[in-house]
Amino acid sequence: MDRLAIICDGITVADGRVAGHDAGATLVRRLLRLFPGAALVGPRAQRGEGFEVVPLELVDPRRTLVINMDVVTSPSVWRTLSVGGIEPSIVNFVWWNTTQFTHPVQRLSLALSCALFPTFANSRRTATEISEIVASATVPAVADKARIDWANLGIRLNHVQARETPHTPVVLYPAIRLSPRKRPELFLDVVDRVRRHTPIQVEMRLEESHLISERAIRLSRKEWAWVGPLTATREDYYYRLARTTAFLATAQDESYGLEYVEAMVAGAVGVFPDLPWARALLPDKYPLLYADVREAEQLLTRAVTDSDGCRAQLDAAAGGNFARWLRERHDDTQFEEGFVAALERWFPGASLIAKAEPS
């Protein structure tokens, strides 16, 4: 086994590169960096910069380790690649929130896939959820054989830029979609309450399908809000984060929370809902957790009017240095090392793929 192929539905290749700023495209690019010469599985064959796109039917299962980011399809991938009695090597990569699967067929399919194939999750929280789903939806003889591991996705710390304080405090909407799970109406309600007594500038950077929505267009007409497209490069993205005062998280649930980690490492003060997903991301004594709209308004007001005081509280909660606490737990090199180690444990020799040069 000397090759790796990645399956992720909806990935597009433009000008030889993986296009898009969403989490899926970002993770695919990370995996391509980690595994030089890896291929993407797509509907038609084409060449990219340092990788190929190949149809699943053309993947050689005798030589290829398949990383499937569309986890529920792993049984069908196995059926396609196992023709002739070959045993395909398939690993599930769960990088999204399991609560999106609400239909019994979806959850049972997820449980069966994660019970049958080694599964790597993007956080301890996601791994725990996967283990619980497998245990509750399959018989013990199947569940007991499940192989599940995890590591925090983390971020590339070398992207972080020096902070600059804006003239008017900037409050970020920490998502690229206005989907119901993110609860954008709660975000808009709170920031509207805050801006009535405290000058703030709200920034939303949305993917195109949400940028042209009625809600986004309506918000963009407000003088205190800026609504625009995603930044063109990671450098531009971190440039904007370095000038962000605070952000208000309103999601009902998250599997990890990459956007929040990126913003906090860049120095933005984060205000979070008091929910299990947020507590899993933060120090035990994190002080900026709200239970309702009133508390959210109070905490966000503090975050934009006394940012230094809030950062001092965060340092205290993290044992002296919040930035260091974040970096120690959310460095993407830890994810890469954990992922490669898990692959090597499940499929001996897989670690050599990560070190190989493109052919």
pLDDT digits (tens, 9 = 90+) for 33-60: 999 999 999 999 999 999 999 999 999 9
Q: Quick check: 154 and 330 in contact, CB under 8 A?
A: yes
**pLDDT value for 356:** 57
**pLDDT value for 311:** 97
DSSP 155: B
* CA-based torsion, 99, 101, 102, 108: positive or negative: negative
As assigned by CATH, the class of the 3-154+332-355 domain is alpha beta
Gyration radius of the chain's alpha carbons? 21
pLDDT (mean) for 306-321: 97
**pLDDT value for 100:** 87
CA distance 5 to 53: 9
CA distance 242 to 240: 5
Q: Quick check: 114 and 88 in contact, CB under 8 A?
A: no
C-alpha distances in angstroms, 167 versus 201, 243, 265?
Answer: 10, 10, 21
Residue with tokens 């993205």: 237
pLDDT (mean) for 203-232: 92
CA distance 286 to 258: 18
CB atoms within 10 A of CB 87: 10
Pairing of strands 46-47, 52-54: antiparallel
Partner residues linked to 94 by β-bridges:
121
Under DSSP, is residue 352 helix (H, G, I), strand (E, B) or coil?
helix
Residues of the chain with CATH 3.40.50.2000: 3-154+332-355, 157-329
pLDDT (mean) for 202-213: 93
Q: What is the pLDDT of residues 240-297, one digit of tens each?
A: 999 999 999 999 999 999 899 999 999 999 999 999 999 999 999 999 999 999 999 9
- Which of 102, 261, 264, 70 shows the shortest CA–CA distance to 180? 102
pLDDT (mean) for 215-241: 91
Classify domain 157-329 by CATH number: 3.40.50.2000
**pLDDT value for 44:** 92
Better-scored residue on pLDDT, 55 or 332: 55
How high does pLDDT run on average in the chain?
A: 94
Structure tokens at 56: 């699943």
CA distance 133 to 112: 9
Q: Does pLDDT of 358 surpass 50?
A: no
Poorest-pLDDT segment among 41-50, 70-79, 307-316? 41-50
Q: Does pLDDT of 357 surpass 70?
A: no
CA distance 110 to 104: 10
CA distance 294 to 305: 17
pLDDT (mean) for 88-116: 95
CB atoms within 10 A of CB 324: 12
Residue type, 156: R
Q: What is the pLDDT of residues 121-151, one digit of tens each?
A: 999 999 999 999 999 999 999 999 999 999 9
**pLDDT value for 359:** 37
CA distance 330 to 154: 4
**pLDDT value for 232:** 78
Q: Quick check: 151 and 335 in contact, CB under 8 A?
A: yes
Structure tokens at 294: 């009133």
Under DSSP, is residue 139 helix (H, G, I), strand (E, B) or coil?
coil
